[in-house]
Structure 1
């Protein structure tokens, strides 16, 4: 019972009614031109239904027609939050993009024809039912039934006053039902096309990938800087040598400054929604990573085979981050142990390998389960390469192959 008065008090009923009447107004304008609205017969009304159709089909071919109809549908079929009914949701699901294909134009044409037919029918029903209510008012006052409506009216009498609201109630519920049908049809005919849904999905996927990339950037850069600072501070305290302490502080300062630069770049990406990829470090700038690891006490040996400057920018930048993560893991889990770094550039692949001895307690239990090593594998996979991490004999190995061809 609580649902019965719903259509009477919802604003959406009347905005949808107005949307239908706007479509009927165009049909009436065409009908004034031909065949005319002076005592139209049933044949004339059929012509009035048919005359606007060619004009609507031609209008549907204009790309902006879909945008115009989408905006009207959003405003009048799905009005503000105060008028929404359950199930409509916060998003109307109506596209306001211009037609981008013949399928979009075809759906727009079907929508315009459907809106015309339903709107003209509701307009005629509105006139007839309102006219019937007026005749009932006249009959209740003792006047004989007139010719305002083609619907039959009872004989004159006071009892007719009780029947006056019935045609109006019927009209409101008719409008509510037709409006519901029109709304559901709009979701199918004016809703996003397959291409638009795919573009939206790609945009959301790109946003998720960007967020993951930023998270990896922060993990690698800030994690490396903090690891170096902790190792340097601990080594300086244990050494008790002013000269070593001075070198350790210099290394902490340099690493912290580089981390701050990376953090500022990431924040700039978040603020400006840009990707200044060219400002990200590449493998040609790997010396500062190696110097930072050496300053922490690790003995780092480097072997470079091939020109690093020929490595494409995206591969070189991701390779830098992979090397950074590998060195960070060495310092974090194994301490100041000897590290061997090998970079081999071939025609089709870049091979990056980092090896270090396992600590006495055995660090293989951490293999591949941390977010850092998982990030290494994800970076390699995104570039179409592969990565292996884990113990190899009495050493821990990070072996990455990235395509450069």
Structure 2
């Protein structure tokens, strides 16, 4: 047990973590030097001392005390925090999640960073000074029992090292000095490690900014998910319907090869168009960027969408919505129509669909109707999210969507209103 405690004490004083924290303190001492030099010059100006740089310990301590306020002023600079955080993570062993990211921008963050920087350079300067001065003195003390000339030298007599006691106590006294230095460095490093999350941790403003960034990232992922859901989901529904119809026609006693050829052509064009849209969305995922405008077709591609939807669609346009609708609204409207057609395929099969787009009074109104046949819908793994996605798209543009049975349950009606000047909010 005593041996184990001795090993634990050795690790605490000279282990890897203790050595890294000691390095962090020495770095603080190095950062203090410019401020200490300025403090020395200021002290020399006001005390009229020519020996300020080589003066007494009192003079050096005065320069040290003048240096700390100067360091505190520097700590207010926003970029001091990310540099201090990087050093604290690597050298102090503080977990990254307990420290803030980015420059200090708020008043509270700057004040905390200034306090940390002052504490770091202040304690680091003391430990660095001791690390430079104490080891040579300790080694000299340990050499006293073995060097009579050293004990009787002018330096030895000046410091009282010629006393007989030093001949006997030189080695243990030197070892005790080195041990005290290691203990002081370990204690100071542990103090900085405890204070780092307090002074360099996120402020309430930092936490709010981080929450806003996470919300923005989540919004981007949700937008990409909707793009994939609407594009791929509609394509699969249309391809499934066309393939099923072609299979039934081929199995008929007198196959209609023209119909089969038309169905296969529709499948080919639908999949080719969907692969292009899928590549665009996946390109954004690979780049990890979003410029606020997702690529994709708009209402100008509505004719192609309806022609290869696998449904008989009666489309009515009022107010020239293709030309009058801005780009962001046009793209969202296209996706809403696409998802509406997918829902009609899933719930109504090949039943005809009525589509009306009306651009008037500063808004685009999209109305879709399809008969409720009573057939069981095609079930997607994990359930469908079409109506929810439509509502989200409308809400992003400042509009709203409503869907449900109408005309005593005979038809399903989807109504979406999008402001033409809303854009993305």
The alignment's TM-score, normalised by the length of structure 2, stands at 0.77
Deviation of 1:364 after TM superposition, in Å, equals 12
Residue 268 of structure 2 corresponds to residue 253 of structure 1: yes
Q: How many residues align?
A: 388
Deviation of 1:126 after TM superposition, in Å, equals 3.8
Q: Does the 8 Å contact 1:154/1:160 carry over to 2?
A: no
User: CA, structure 1 residues 91+276, in 2 after alignment: closer, same or farther (shift >3 Å)?
Assistant: closer
Q: Does the 8 Å contact 1:94/1:186 carry over to 2?
A: no
Residue 285 of structure 2 corresponds to residue 270 of structure 1: yes
1:352 counterpart residue number: 366
Post-superposition CA distance 1:221-246 (Å, at most 9, x none): 12212221221122123232112112
Counterparts of residues 85-96 of structure 1 (less than 5 Å): 85=93, 88-90=94-96, 93=99, 95=101
User: Residue 276 of structure 2: SS of its match in structure 1?
Assistant: helix
Residue 114 of structure 2 corresponds to residue 114 of structure 1: no
Structure 2 alignment gaps of length 5 or more:
45-51, 250-254
2:396 counterpart residue number: 382
- Name which of 297, 316, 321 aligns with 1:303: 316
2:12 counterpart residue number: 6
Distance 2:13 2:96 in 1: 20
Distance 2:223 2:232 in 1: 14
Deviation of 1:22 after TM superposition, in Å, equals 0.8
Say what the alpha-carbon RMSD is for the aligned residues. Answer: 3.7
Residue 299 of structure 2 corresponds to residue 289 of structure 1: no
Q: Does the 8 Å contact 2:325/2:420 carry over to 1?
A: yes
Post-superposition CA distance 1:77-130 (Å, at most 9, x none): 333xxx674xx2256836564x65666655554444333432333244446644
User: CA, structure 1 residues 179+138, in 2 after alignment: closer, same or farther (shift >3 Å)?
Assistant: same
2:412 counterpart residue number: 396
Counterparts of residues 125-144 of structure 1 (less than 5 Å): 125-126=130-131, 129-130=134-135, 133-134=138-139, 136-141=141-146, 143=151
Distance 2:270 2:190 in 1: 64
The alignment's TM-score, normalised by the length of structure 1, stands at 0.80
Distance 1:212 1:396 in 2: 27
Deviation of 1:172 after TM superposition, in Å, equals 1.6
Post-superposition CA distance 1:353-398 (Å, at most 9, x none): 22211123465999x9622222222222322332223333122222
User: CA, structure 1 residues 276+96, in 2 after alignment: closer, same or farther (shift >3 Å)?
Assistant: closer
Distance 2:213 2:197 in 1: 22
The range that moved more, 376-385 or 211-220, is 376-385
Distance 1:193 1:381 in 2: 32
Distance 1:176 1:342 in 2: 76
Structure 1 alignment gaps of length 5 or more:
none
Q: Does the 8 Å contact 2:26/2:128 carry over to 1?
A: no
Q: Does the 8 Å contact 2:36/2:66 carry over to 1?
A: no
Q: Does the 8 Å contact 1:126/1:171 carry over to 2?
A: yes
